[in-house]
């Protein structure tokens, strides 16, 4: 009898992580989705993550509380203004105030602990180094370094059953990601990208994340289902 392989997927509820979740499922893995409640001010993310996990279908969806806001300084955790109306050139070239120091490293490390505990050797992350906010921890060289580190940190690594860190979107444009997601049946109206939504969770339309989202739907030739308030 063939046993279905388990994979951990980091799921924020945005376009990239939702598409990664659908890709992982499409590859035949039994999916364990991991979402972090880390004090992000755009709390609507968590609702989107729940809806996405339900729509795409997972074996388990764990929301892990992590009080990063206690530790770091970032506009995403409420320490300063979210940048708005920036040009695409600036978005792609500067590290903005929305950067949360070491976030993907913390998220992947916790995912690794869970993976080792449930007997999974595959961790998927929706990191993307094309249409992204310039965060250092979204680059392929970081993903490679983490994989090396993961295999030295763990019992499974020592035993030679290597853990693989997959970043299937790393070289895709936002348009290509959206096309892939639609092809896999994702309802993107459930996804959330905005860094600064209103109290009803509606997207601002002008933060870096909304700007990249709009560009992506346009490139993909797919109607943007987002209800922007601005």
**Does 110 interact with a second copy (rule: CB under 8 A)?**
yes
Rounded CA gap, 35 and 65, in Å?
A: 9
**Does 69 interact with a second copy (rule: CB under 8 A)?**
no
**Does 41 interact with a second copy (rule: CB under 8 A)?**
no
Q: Which is nearer to a second copy, 113 or 189 (CB)?
A: 113
213: its two tokens: 């989202």
Minimum distance from residue 90 beta carbon to a second copy (Å): 16
**Site stretch for a second copy (CB under 8 A), options 22-30, 92-100, 176-184, 217-225:** 92-100
CA 38 vs CA 12, 64, 224: distances in Å: 11, 8, 28
Rounded CA gap, 219 and 38, in Å?
A: 31
**Does 3 interact with a second copy (rule: CB under 8 A)?**
no
**Does 149 interact with a second copy (rule: CB under 8 A)?**
yes
Name which position in 46, 51, 59, 62 contacts a second copy (CB under 8 A): 62
Q: Tell which residue, 18, 109, 110, 101, has the closest CA to residue 64.
A: 110
Minimum distance from residue 115 beta carbon to a second copy (Å): 8
CA 11 vs CA 88, 104, 209: distances in Å: 25, 12, 16
**Does 100 interact with a second copy (rule: CB under 8 A)?**
yes
Q: Restricting to residues 154-173, name those near a second copy by CB under 8 A.
A: 154-155, 157-158
Instruction: Give the three-state DSSP class for 87.
Output: coil
Could you count the other beta carbons within 10 Å of the beta carbon of residue 86? 16
Longest dimension (CA), the chain: 55
Rounded CA gap, 63 and 43, in Å?
A: 12
**Does 81 interact with a second copy (rule: CB under 8 A)?**
no
- Contacting residues toward a second copy, per CB under 8 A: 62, 64-68, 70-73, 95, 99-106, 108-110, 112-114, 116-117, 136-137, 139, 141-142, 145-146, 148-150, 152-155, 157-158
């Amino acid at each position: 009898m063939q046993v279905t392989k388990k994979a951990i997927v980091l799921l924020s509820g945005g376009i990239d992580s939702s598409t990664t979740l659908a890709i992982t499922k499409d590859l035949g893995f039994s999916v364990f989705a991991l979402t972090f409640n880390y004090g992000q001010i755009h709390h609507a993310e968590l609702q989107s993550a729940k809806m996405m996990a339900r729509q795409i279908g997972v074996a388990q969806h764990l929301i892990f509380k992590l009080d990063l806001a206690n530790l770091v300084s970032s506009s995403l955790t409420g320490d300063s203004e979210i940048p708005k109306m920036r040009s695409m050139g600036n978005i792609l070239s500067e590290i903005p105030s929305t950067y949360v120091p070491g976030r993907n490293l913390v998220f992947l490390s916790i995912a690794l602990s869970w993976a080792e505990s449930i007997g999974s050797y595959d961790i998927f992350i929706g990191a993307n180094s094309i249409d992204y906010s310039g965060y250092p921890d979204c680059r392929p060289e970081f993903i490679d370094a983490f994989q090396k580190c993961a295999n030295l940190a763990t019992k499974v690594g020592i035993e030679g059953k290597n853990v693989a860190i997959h970043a299937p979107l790393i070289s895709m444009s936002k348009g290509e990601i959206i096309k892939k997601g639609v092809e896999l049946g994702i309802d993107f109206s459930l996804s959330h990208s905005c860094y600064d939504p209103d109290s009803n969770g509606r997207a601002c339309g002008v933060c870096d994340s909304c700007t990249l989202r709009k560009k992506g739907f346009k490139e993909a030739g797919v109607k943007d289902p987002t209800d922007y308030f601005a």
